[in-house]
Chain A
């Protein structure tokens, strides 16, 4: 339909639990959680394992590669954009946007890679673009 333009992004409000995630984002790295008891990765990250409710979790850096699980190009927005779930190579999915491409390029199953987009006065936001 059209080239997707950059738009103003509402900044996140980090807290003590998530400070490391947003600090890594400043360095261009996407952190996800891993439960050390089960070995399973998870998203969004938290300091409590969503599999055991224990604190036995660690941060791991995602490769930044994934595929589009589903998406919708929101034509009826002031600045149209594409929301998506991207399935990371590590397993979990991220609710994100697909950026820096034409909306016609976006498809379920398409390989994508991580890019960061600035938020309005806050840390950068992890988004994805076609490989």
Chain B
């Protein structure tokens, strides 16, 4: 069974907040849900399928209860920050199988208000998590793990800090047009490489923002999408994968995007050359570089040259990316960038991105996410969408 053409994204909403000390986690989820349903022109009681990840603390039942949803399908698959992309794919599968008609996906969190040192302190692990006892004392954090990927990439392929910096520069060029972006200032390659080292070889400006907020998406079947009068964004391919340490035979040069991307392109029947816009997970600059290579937008090891000189800037380069400013400059709610990746791809396909960054004739877009720890065990998920 394919999901190609079986489901449409009809509602997308990014919460405007970036700091929400006066809001609860559940309130943020519910505000995002209401925003996406209003965008779609649907009501709460139209929802019969609900999808959420680990940021919905207490699980899907607690959040379905809070929002008083009446459900016949639920999925709380969690693979960190790429979970919303998996949820959209699973929603399309459930709709294709007749398990639900209107699927709601929510994500929200408030790490900024909670004072979370997202990148520089380890995420708590249960002692029974099988890897915990061998790794907890080593203090793998988000920043130093992704930094090891960058160090190896530099070693094998002579990638430079300046090339990585171009990814932040491109994101900042887009963020200047986003009134809600946390970092709307345009930065230069020099600004990035002269910012303090967080964990070698990554600098402070190689890292994403820490923000409160969230987003939501509504996915439905063609008959309902037809009646809504919104631009039609059709899901035509998806893929998901997990990559890990392979019993100790680690290879940090590629990610789960190889397998996820291959599956998504095969299902969609398109190639990287056909894609007009990409949302690429940008927890760090290196995350973008590895994924662009793995998805086939350039040869493995050539990502540094590919992203340099503005090639990711809308209106300038070959592959406009993260035109909302991405996680690097705009928003990384709940420390999970997957939701905003899908939302900006939907805006581009609808022609609703900011005019300064809107890609002309944007008929085909790809969103990809990476979740959890790229250097140890991570998820990858790809969605390919087209405007009808």
Tell me, in angstroms, the Cα distance from A108 to B158 when the chains sit together: 13
A interface size (C-beta, 8 A)? 43
Please encode chain A, from 71 to 92, with 1 for each CB lying within 8 Å of some chain B CB and 0 for all others: 1111111000101110010011
Residue of B nearest to A109 (CB): B155
Number of interface residues, chain B, beta carbon within 8 A: 40
How close is B255's CB to chain A, nearest CB, in angstroms? 14
Q: How far is the CB of A102 from chain B (nearest CB, A)?
A: 13
Shortest distance from the beta carbon of A108 to any chain B beta carbon, whole Å: 5
Please, which residue of chain A has its CB at the minimum distance from the CB of B250?
A93
Decide: A95 and B138 in contact? CB cutoff 8 A.
yes
Within 8 Å CB of B376, what residues of A? 95
- Given A13-B127, A75-B197, CB of A70 within 8 Å of CB of B155: yes
- A34-72 Cβ-contact flags toward B at 8 Å (1 or 0): 000000111110100011000000000000000001111
Chain A residues positioned under 8 Å from B202 (CB to CB): 72
| Max count, chain A CB within 10 A of own CB: residue among B127, B131, B137, B196 | B137
B134 touches A72 (CB 8 A): no
Does B148 lie at the interface of the complex (its beta carbon under 8 Å from any beta carbon of A)? yes
CA of A15 to CA of B132, assembled, Å = 11
Nearest CB of chain B from residue A47's CB, rounded to whole Å? 11
Docked pose: A84 CA to B135 CA in angstroms: 11
Q: Specify the chain B residue showing the minimal Cβ separation from A108.
A: B155
Q: Considering the chains assembled together, what is the distance between the CA atoms of A93 and B245 in angstroms?
A: 9
Contact of B197 among A13, A41, A76, A97 (CB under 8 A): A76
| Interface contacts beyond A72-B201, A91-B249, A93-B248: sample of 12 additional A-B pairs, CB < 8 Å, sorted by A | A15-B128, A22-B133, A44-B134, A50-B247, A70-B148, A72-B151, A74-B200, A75-B196, A85-B375, A94-B248, A108-B151, A119-B137
Listed A/B pairs (16) with beta-carbon separation below 8 Å: A9-B137, A10-B139, A12-B134, A12-B137, A22-B133, A40-B247, A69-B152, A72-B150, A73-B199, A74-B147, A74-B199, A75-B198, A76-B143, A93-B249, A108-B151, A109-B155
Q: Footprint of A on B, CB under 8 Å?
A: 120, 127-128, 130-141, 143-145, 147-152, 155, 196-202, 245, 247-250, 252, 375-376
Partner-B contacts on A (CB < 8 A)? 9-15, 18, 22, 32, 40-44, 46, 50-51, 69-77, 81, 83-85, 88, 91-97, 108-109, 119, 125
